[in-house]
Structure 1
Amino acid sequence: MIKLTFPRELRLLTPASFSYIFQDPFRSGSPFVTILARQNQLGFPRLGFAIAKKQLKRAHERNRIKRVVREYFRLHQTELPTMDYVVMARTAVMDLDNKQIIAQLDKLWHRIKRNAAPLAPKH
């Protein structure tokens, strides 16, 4: 049985982890959300957030987006390529309800999955 949890090792926590992704990311974006991804050698995907106060002024707005993305990631982590992901949100995301946000995430992560195979290191 597969455990669909979101433990600490699935989170991007250090500035070095974020810097690694920002150096040379694969981008998948929409007018609402952008996902940056970069291959990792850990054997499992990891998730981080870079949601600016400039984009989403209120903490409860940022927290709602993070909650929805974390839940999506938790439920789909076994289907995702072994990459590190940073999710960034834009102001327009506040006009969407949770189901619409999930639909956007589905589209973006599907695009990443489709394009991840050519990015995988060749031995």
Structure 2
Amino acid sequence: MALFQDARLRNSADFKAVYVKGRRFEGRLMTIFILSNGLEQHRLGITASRKMARRAVDRNRAKRLIREAFRLNSAELSALKDKYDWVFNARRPIVEIKLDAVVKELQWMFTQVIHNEPEQHL
């Protein structure tokens, strides 16, 4: 799954809505906020603050790692009943970590999301 332009969260209002109304899942390398979006696809937003990494190179690497791990784990998203807006906040240790560790943590976090997904009532 390629992340097309319309599959990304772009404006601050979208990020803010996910932060305020969404659910939060903590990991060692990242924090995930999710909010059901009612659309036909998942949308992704990634933040890497200057507090997390001083150098832009490191912040960009953290975002690339998360984006690629999300793409590699996109098959697991089919287990979800709804489509969500996802906001990933990178944490400091991610800069020194290889992609496979990020993928494993994201798989673990996806299982947390799947098990905590609210039941839909028809």
For the criterion TM > 0.5, the same-fold answer is: yes
58-67 vs 72-81, which moves further: 72-81
Distance 1:93 1:119 in 2: 33
1:13 aligns with 2:10: yes
Structure 1 residue 22 corresponds to structure 2 residue 19: yes
Q: Aligned-pair RMSD on alpha carbons?
A: 1.7
**What is the alpha-carbon distance in structure 1 between the residues aligned to residue 36 and residue 119 of structure 2?**
7
Structure 1 equivalent of residue 103 of structure 2: 102
Residue type of the alignment partner of 1:102: V
Q: Give the gaps of 5 or more residues in structure 1.
A: none
- Identity over aligned pairs, percent: 29
Conserved? CA contact 2:70–2:106, under 8 Å: no
Decide which of 16, 30, 34 is 1:33's aligned counterpart.
30
What do the CA deviations read for 1:65-96 (whole angstroms, capped 9, x no partner)?
A: 21122122223335324100100011122232
Q: Give the TM-score, by structure 1 length.
A: 0.84
- 2:57 pairs with one of 51, 57, 60: 60
The total of aligned residue pairs comes to: 118
Q: Deviations over 1:35-63 (max 9, x none)?
A: 11111110211100121111111112111
